[in-house]
Structure 1
């Protein structure tokens, strides 16, 4: 099935601006889905935009209720001393200390610990976010290199993303970008996203040939995709 990557759009529903991703494909009906990226609208290839918006408006109440429920369930993480943070699929303890604004990773001992060595007046949330991003970039570079070796492709530039609508992207010109919040997830799910983006170095589309490349890199990609959708709904907000 031919599927477009998706177009980011906005619409006013019940007085509120709602962002959504419009995806056109060889489907026969219009459909709505809400996941970690927000509202996704799937439509047939030749449906006119006014008809798409009319369809969205006809489901305005359902959309509003689902988005409200989703927002209410996203936990807001407070980096207090003793708090537990999901990282690489495990639980890490956060400890606050004094220092020169650096993050110290204690991976041995009774439990893995992230120490935020703050200077006076330092921002614990900002320091934690910076530390997680540094850790994420190092890990992602390692995983991209591994999958590129499997394909016999040179490793592209790797950078972090904070995009609202996708976990990763790939460009032959600028390289691969991966969302830093993937660092909270188990490594197998991170590897699925990495394999997906590395496969785009071969096929810059979502054709059967593309999915054949993904399968060669990550045979269990269908199950991983479903697990990613479920796990991402509970990621902490930083």
Structure 2
């Protein structure tokens, strides 16, 4: 029996040092280990087999100080409310309170774009995120069409989700199933050039469903050297995922 007084199964969660610890079985792992999932803001305790999940839980409990240190490294979450200023695809946008349907108001005289929404607290945040999702879909659909035109491939169906594991994913056409690309709506909070790189990356997968030399040649033909954009996502991705949490 574990020190937590119960047995564990794959996917169970427990709390250590104020953090959520998710237990995971990975049969390719050689030992029990811990890592910080920055997107989900939780610790993953991995065990090589189900019978060693209790060992993984105990290991996490013993490493409480390490867990607290990793949590302190995460970007702070800020409440989403009127008056907050965001950068949306690199453009400063101000949040305001208003009535009616949450909406994006484009500037008419060179002023700052605005997102107007009603509600308070989590309700206000959800309304703002809905507007950001619509904006993300609009811009990323446009950029996907642009890159597909350059590559000479048909434009796939584009959707946005709140995935935390990847910024985009591509499914080429198979039989009667049309091609599709999904993006994280949180790319709207990244600089335009970074989000555009992700659109180019996923569009290139319509030709090369791998990360080989020909794939990267397509990407670089669309956006140039992609390394700075990848580095930006590694450095700032946790901040994007922290928004609205």
Q: For 1:142-175, what per-residue CA distance to the aligned partner results, in whole angstroms no more than 9, with x for missing partners?
A: 0000000110011000000211111010011451
Structure 1 residues 160 and 14: alpha-carbon distance in aligned structure 2, compared to 1, 3 A threshold: closer
Q: Please, which of 17, 21, 28 is the counterpart of residue 17 of structure 1?
A: 21
Q: Distance in 2 between matches of 1:145 and 1:129?
A: 24
Q: CA RMSD in A?
A: 3.7
Query: How far 1:88 sits from its partner (Å)?
Result: 1.5
* Greater share of strand: 1
Report what 2:71 is aligned to.
68
Number of corresponding residues: 213
Asked if the contact 1:116/1:124 (under 8 Å) is kept, the reply is no
- Give structure 1 stretches of 5+ with no counterpart: 1-8, 25-29, 42-47
Report what 2:198 is aligned to.
193
Q: Which has the larger displacement, 219-228 or 151-160?
A: 219-228
Q: Give 3-state SS (helix, strand or coil) of 1:131's partner.
A: helix
Q: For 1:72-107, what per-residue CA distance to the aligned partner results, in whole angstroms no more than 9, with x for missing partners?
A: x23233222x22122112321111122x22314132
Q: For 1:38-75, what per-residue CA distance to the aligned partner results, in whole angstroms no more than 9, with x for missing partners?
A: 6899xxxxxx946xx9999699568624541244x232
| Structure of greater Rg | 2
Asked if the contact 1:105/1:115 (under 8 Å) is kept, the reply is yes
Report what 1:153 is aligned to.
153
Q: TM-score, normalised by structure 1?
A: 0.72
Q: Give 3-state SS (helix, strand or coil) of 1:17's partner.
A: strand
Q: Please, which of 226, 236, 239 is the counterpart of residue 234 of structure 1?
A: 239
Structure 1 residues 63 and 188: alpha-carbon distance in aligned structure 2, compared to 1, 3 A threshold: farther
Report what 1:209 is aligned to.
214
Q: Is 1:220 the counterpart of 2:218 in the alignment? A: no
Pairing of 1:58-137 with structure 2 (within 5 A): 64-65=67-68, 67-71=70-74, 73-80=75-82, 82-98=83-99, 100-109=100-109, 111-118=111-118, 123-137=123-137
Q: Distance in 2 between matches of 1:216 and 1:39?
A: 37
Query: How far 1:131 sits from its partner (Å)?
Result: 0.9
Asked if the contact 2:11/2:24 (under 8 Å) is kept, the reply is yes
